[in-house]
Structure 1
């Protein structure tokens, strides 16, 4: 399984479309974790699994999505409804409830990935307005068997950070 995860593009269509073109037919899914600030019929997000963020006015976007991709259960939300700036505990409960292997979220504009109780929690940072660093980022996640490779890349596709996890059997 190979995924591109992006969040908090705040009306910027250029970066989203560029990722769409670069990774078309090369990944299993493009995922946007909210605050696109685009309309649901905007061509820039047509190939994305997308959720509604606190700055999105589009009511057609769901607050959360649960998808199964190549046998992996994925939970996507923006994060504001789970108070992620304070703690991941509420999100962790929701992940367990959905038996998720991966949780993708945004909202804080701060990149990070960690394994909690056998589930990977990942925030790709912001592709437009990063916090805590200057690089505008997105994430590339690849899962082969039980090995998970996470790469955080800049908007111009340079690796800024990599992490590896071993997915635990449930």
Structure 2
């Protein structure tokens, strides 16, 4: 199973369409972690699960989503309401409440992934205004029986193999 995760596109439409065209055939789910700055009926967002970001003034999206995918619970939020620019603590409390296995968020525009207490936290960075790097990043997660493989992609140059990370899945009941 594969999941495409993007965030902080800030008005881009063609790029979201390109991601769909390139990857929709290989992924089971496409997630946008907010700050699309697009209306909810925008064609570029079709087939994405989208949450409300702090710069989403025209779109009416849910503040957070919990989706089941491949037996895992995926919690999606933008992150601004949880103070993710300074800590993951508040987000971790909400993730535990939601019984999440994977948390997808944005807001900071910093690419990152971290396993904390058997929950994988992923910020795919930004495809418009990245911080801390020049690549305009998004993530494709590949989940199998025992592990999650995180593939980082640059909008222009494709997969960044040197940033691939592998996380062991905790034993599930």
Superposition TM-score, scaled by structure 2 size: 0.95
The within-5 A match list for 1:114-153 is 114-153=114-153
Q: Does 1:42 align with 2:56?
A: no
Q: Report the Cα distance in structure 2 between the residues aligned to 1:2 and 1:146, rounded to whole angstroms.
A: 14
Q: Report the Cα distance in structure 2 between the residues aligned to 1:41 and 1:96, rounded to whole angstroms.
A: 32
Q: Report the Cα distance in structure 2 between the residues aligned to 1:6 and 1:85, rounded to whole angstroms.
A: 17
4+ residue runs of structure 1 moved beyond 3 angstroms?
A: none
Residues 151 and 159, structure 2, Cα contact 8 Å, conserved in 1: no
TM-superposed CA distance for 1:70, in Å, is 1.5
Question: Gaps spanning 5+ residues in structure 2: where?
Answer: none
The within-5 A match list for 1:1-170 is 1-156=1-156, 157-159=158-160, 161-169=163-171
Superposition TM-score, scaled by structure 1 size: 0.97
Question: Gaps spanning 5+ residues in structure 1: where?
Answer: none
TM-superposed CA distance for 1:25, in Å, is 2.4
53-62 vs 64-73, which deviates more? 53-62
Q: Report the Cα distance in structure 2 between the residues aligned to 1:105 and 1:169, rounded to whole angstroms.
A: 24
Q: Report the Cα distance in structure 2 between the residues aligned to 1:45 and 1:155, rounded to whole angstroms.
A: 17
